[in-house]
Amino acid sequence: MHCASHALNLCLAKASDVREIRAAITTMHEVAVFYNESNKRLLNLQQFIESECPESSRTRLKMHCTTRWVEKQDAILVFRELYPAIVASLDDVSVWSGFSGSKAASFLKSMDSGFLVAVEILYTVLEVGLYYNSDANC
């Protein structure tokens, strides 16, 4: 019998076989890298976090870890929480010239309705994991 943490890890591994889930995880990771690689882009995101998500204590996106699902869980939860600020920032950055502008426009295109459904599915599964992890010991 697997503990709740291990069962959730198996569930996430199986969900990664679904193309839309895998694409959403990849997009969230690439957006985090996009902002973490540039202080100018990060500052832009932080300004939108202040205006679009004033109740959030988060100031940056978290990177996904391929081997630790808890860190992947945190990254997805933060992404979902900051989603309005991310979209507003990407929209603003998309008019910049060069790499930043074209990459931001590409991210906006990839964050369609299928992406949002995949993020909500991941969030729902991970929310269950948060509940079980607070009570379970492996």
> Average pLDDT in the 23-40 region?
95
- Per-residue model confidence as pLDDT tens digits over 90-117: 999 999 999 999 999 999 999 999 999 9
Q: How far apart are CA 14 and CA 28, in angstroms?
A: 18
Contact 89, 43 (CB under 8 A): no
- Per-residue model confidence as pLDDT tens digits over 40-93: 999 999 999 999 999 999 999 988 766 666 677 788 899 999 999 999 999 999
Domain definitions of the chain by residue range: 20-55+65-135
The model's confidence at residue 136, banded by pLDDT at 50, 70 and 90, is very low
SS3 category, 87? helix
Kindly report the pTM of this predicted structure.
0.81
Q: pLDDT: is 124 or 31 the higher one?
A: 31
Per-residue model confidence (pLDDT) at position 18? 81
Q: pLDDT: is 19 or 7 the higher one?
A: 19
Per-residue model confidence (pLDDT) at position 137? 46
> Average pLDDT in the 16-34 region?
89
Contacts of 28 (CB under 8 A, 6+ apart): 61, 64, 75, 76, 79, 119
